[in-house]
Structure 1
Amino acid sequence: MKGLNLSAISSSMRLVLLKPTYATSRPARFLHQLIQQQQQQQLQLQQQHFQQKRATCGLACGTAMCPGKCKSSRRQLDKTKGLNSAGHKHTGSLAVAQTPATPVVSQRDEDQVLEVRLAQAEDALVIPYMWLRDHCRSERYFNHTTQQKIPDLELLERDLTPQAVRADSKGLSIKWRDGHETDYTYDWLANNFYPGQFARRTKRILWGRKKMESEPLPAVTFEHHMTSEDGLRQSLRNLVKYGFTMVTGAPPTAEGTRQASERISPIQESMYGGLWTVSPAMGNNDTAYTHESLGAHTDNTYLTSPAGIEVFHILEHDGTGGESLLVDGFNAVDTLRRDDPKAFQTLRDTPIPFEYMATAADGKPPYLMKAYSPIFTEHAGTGELLTFRFNAYDRGTMDTVKPQDLPQFYAAYQKISQVISSPASQFWFQLSPGTVLLVDNWRVMHGRSAFTGFRLLSGCYLSRDEWISQARMLEAL
């Protein structure tokens, strides 16, 4: 999340303890509101707080330049504000002096959780003490050189009740009863506490034919894609947002395909090699190597981990037809969720066999690949769609459904097939030499119409982990 305006956010905040059952799935936006304050406002508030401490301490100890950290100044400040400086450990009283930018801290240790809440917000972020201690990023528990966790094998044997909790405009500081201290920024908590990792910088857009035909296609010029970090970031944002992107003006050669692809990540080797070409003249035992049409599908469904991105680049075509087809699988699932919740649940909970068989030929070994997966998976906590896997050509023999459950399964499978094949879901367009198409193979299906003549297609696969890592590094995800 970014760009939040805090002008409408109340300066009064509180940090209290509630029972774990009060947890919410929408905390990230409230934390980000806190940490996105304008620098000028932060500086002004810090200066005001310092002046307040110094003035109070002058009353308590007579030292005009005291920074407000001596015991007498804290006692005087507590007295002025009506606070109990010794009671914040257990009674829920304030642990820090309140300023317009500083949350109030209180504890109810019997609940063993902390909550961060804006004054006017109905939802809050509830964080168990156990989680906070386990995710300490101090040198004792985290190696900042290797970016790896240092296991705490005595975690559950420790007294996980904080001795003191302090909060300022930037984050939390906890002093534990064993003397260890931990600091957390609100930004880090927002991105890492459940389910903060799904707070995307780029919003996913579900689409159908009408939306794609009414807006400019997600595309970046070859020069911008290759030479500019901003261009690469835009390509990655398109992939996150729409599930595909185009690189226009590329050299209409296999080398042009390679360059556009490797700008995203290294090419992934597979049974087809690295960079490959497809034409009917090759005669492979796959429908892709024919003149026939191909319905919408994702690739590598028969692999435990399918390729993350599939790349397509038309190099030559001297005939007619061969239009490209894209279908947003996530949009199809969302449609099914709304129209037929029972079918949605059946497909979500039913693993389907996918397989690929090939005989030995041209020096290549035989293959018998098989994998099991539901058509789609979702995050158990947030419901966010994670994967989509659909290929009617590679669906194996149904050995995963009990006989009595077959009618329900086939009804659900037919329902999603109808959504996918609906004209409202299908976006057709004509690729031409020089336009490289990159498709998120974990979300968007591809296909083509039948064609005549000679048609040469260049392409490759890119690893899911590689391109997602690149997207994170460039803040596109």
Structure 2
Amino acid sequence: MYEVTLDPSGRTLALSPGGNAARRFHAVWLRDNAWDPETRAPGNGQRLIALRDIPAETTITSAQVSGQVLRLTFVPEHKVIEYDIPWLIAHAYDRVAPRVAGWTAPEIETWDSGFVNRVPASDFGVVRSDSAALRDWLDQVARYGFGKLVSGPAKDGALFEVVELFGYVRETNYGRHFEVRTEVNPTNLAYTGLGLQAHTDNPYRDPVPTVQVLYCLESSAAGGENMVVDGYRAAERLREESPEWFDVLTRHCARFEYAGSDGVVLRSRRPMIELAPDGELVAVRFNNRSTAAITDVPFDAMETYYAAYRRFGEIIDDPAMEVTFRLNPGECFVVDNTRVLHARKAYSGMGTRWLQGCYADKDGILSKLAALGGGSREAAE
């Protein structure tokens, strides 16, 4: 049972879903979000009008509820529009919002080393042939920021078949893909047997590639285990330890640079911990190899900034934060490059270790997940 109360001015109304707290809506918002065929294209839902086409003085003169439908009359257009009430409730903006800086959406779950036995993993062949299995795997990748696929073909270029599950390859100066194995005179430390600190890839790009795929073709060298760290959880720990340090890394930009290839000079300026205007944690950028001189922090804040930067790195390096696993031939992992840092242990020159990597975009994962009926942000809220 729904009840609606119209404000005398006609500029707002309150909708009460059954005994629950009323949700308020503005007339102009309701008119802008109408789903009648004159406002939205029936085929794709895109708006057919601009805000300029809606009178600024729009008000509601009549509001009636019939079952799950809300019927409104708008003036000065004298237009009658019906709304699906469950849709309105799912999209209500009159709610108490979590506004502690660094909050994450309900569909995001942060983790630490205790996650080692819960790593999202699925069979490559199964997710290719079963849309429900693909949906469930993508849902976990979206929730936790990474996931593994096993039992895939150990063949050159198999990583492209992984990307085809949800999107498209993002080509860079490294090409459509890159090789990860020991090289003589490498252009990037990733191509040596050295261990690498947990990092996000390509922070010097704007925008950064938001998804990375690493696919194993050979793995007989000793060591070289892959490791992931949840950057969101690291940011939460920093905030818990020192709100001041968390704040300084969110308020000031770091600078990142890469110029290791002929004809390539890539630079970006972004915070190491990035928040949306309402305080939502939306990205982490951390890569000691690519950090340039930091020049966007005021003199009086620089010591605090470096203390925060140091502690953030210590948290990232803490074994209590890492999940380690070994990739065997035919296995890969997909990682959200705006959230999860990845690394590898050092490996010896004996035997072989050959991985192929490429980049893609997170919107492809989220789009495919939504198309398959996976979790949505509105439903989670």
Please give the TM-score of this superposition, normalised by the length of structure 2: 0.89
**Do structure 1's residue 350 and structure 2's residue 252 form an aligned pair?**
yes
Q: Distance in 2 between matches of 1:470 and 1:225?
A: 13
- CA 1:406 to 1:152, structure 2 compared with 1: closer, same or farther past 3 Å? closer
CA displacement at 1:156 relative to structure 2: 4.4
User: How many residues are aligned here?
Assistant: 364
**Do structure 1's residue 300 and structure 2's residue 197 form an aligned pair?**
no
Question: What residue in structure 2 maps to residue 189 of structure 1?
Answer: 88
- CA 1:240 to 1:451, structure 2 compared with 1: closer, same or farther past 3 Å? same
CA displacement at 1:223 relative to structure 2: 1.4
Q: Distance in 1 between matches of 2:89 and 2:224?
A: 47
CA displacement at 1:470 relative to structure 2: 1.4
Percent same amino acid at aligned positions?
26
- CA 1:390 to 1:322, structure 2 compared with 1: closer, same or farther past 3 Å? same
- CA 1:460 to 1:191, structure 2 compared with 1: closer, same or farther past 3 Å? farther
CA displacement at 1:119 relative to structure 2: 5.5
More strand by share: 2
Partner SS for 1:392: coil
Counterpart pick for 2:140 among 211, 233, 238? 238
Question: What residue in structure 2 maps to residue 110 of structure 1?
Answer: 9
- CA 1:190 to 1:118, structure 2 compared with 1: closer, same or farther past 3 Å? closer
Question: What residue in structure 2 maps to residue 363 of structure 1?
Answer: none
Partner SS for 2:259: strand
**Do structure 1's residue 403 and structure 2's residue 299 form an aligned pair?**
yes
- CA 1:463 to 1:414, structure 2 compared with 1: closer, same or farther past 3 Å? same
Q: Distance in 2 between matches of 1:190 and 1:304?
A: 36
Question: What residue in structure 1 maps to residue 72 of structure 2?
Answer: 174
Q: Structure 2: which amino acid aligns with 1:234? A: D
- CA 1:474 to 1:379, structure 2 compared with 1: closer, same or farther past 3 Å? farther
Q: Structure 2: which amino acid aligns with 1:110? A: S
Question: What residue in structure 2 maps to residue 256 of structure 1?
Answer: 158
Please give the TM-score of this superposition, normalised by the length of structure 1: 0.72
Question: What residue in structure 1 maps to residue 41 of structure 2?
Answer: 143
Question: What residue in structure 2 maps to residue 373 of structure 1?
Answer: 270
> Deviation per CA, 1:220-273, whole angstroms, max 9, x where unpaired?
111111111112112211111211111110011223322122212121111111
Q: Structure 1: 5+ residue runs without aligned partners?
A: 1-100, 361-365
Q: Distance in 2 between matches of 1:119 and 1:466?
A: 37
CA displacement at 1:189 relative to structure 2: 2.4
CA displacement at 1:294 relative to structure 2: 0.4
Q: Distance in 1 between matches of 2:314 and 2:69?
A: 50
Which is bigger in relative contact order (C-alpha 8 A, separation at least 6)?
A: 2
**Do structure 1's residue 415 and structure 2's residue 311 form an aligned pair?**
yes
Q: What RMSD, in angstroms, separates the aligned Cα atoms of the two structures?
A: 2.3
Which stretch of the first structure deviates more once superposed, 110-119 or 336-345? Answer: 110-119
Indicate conservation of the 8 Å contact 1:232/1:264, yes or no.
no
Counterpart pick for 2:290 among 385, 394, 402? 394
Partner SS for 2:9: helix
Q: Distance in 2 between matches of 1:324 and 1:408?
A: 32
Q: Distance in 1 between matches of 2:303 and 2:172?
A: 36
Question: What residue in structure 2 maps to residue 440 of structure 1?
Answer: 336
CA displacement at 1:146 relative to structure 2: 5.0
CA displacement at 1:107 relative to structure 2: 1.8
Q: Distance in 2 between matches of 1:378 and 1:194?
A: 20
> Deviation per CA, 1:371-419, whole angstroms, max 9, x where unpaired?
11112223333x4322222112111111211222101111111121121
- CA 1:201 to 1:222, structure 2 compared with 1: closer, same or farther past 3 Å? farther
Indicate conservation of the 8 Å contact 2:5/2:14, yes or no.
no
CA displacement at 1:115 relative to structure 2: 2.4
- CA 1:475 to 1:346, structure 2 compared with 1: closer, same or farther past 3 Å? farther
More helix by share: 1
Question: What residue in structure 2 maps to residue 311 of structure 1?
Answer: 213
Q: Structure 1: which amino acid aligns with 2:171? A: E
> Deviation per CA, 1:118-160, whole angstroms, max 9, x where unpaired?
4644x542211121112222222222345322114243433x2
Q: Structure 2: 5+ residue runs without aligned partners?
A: 99-103, 376-381
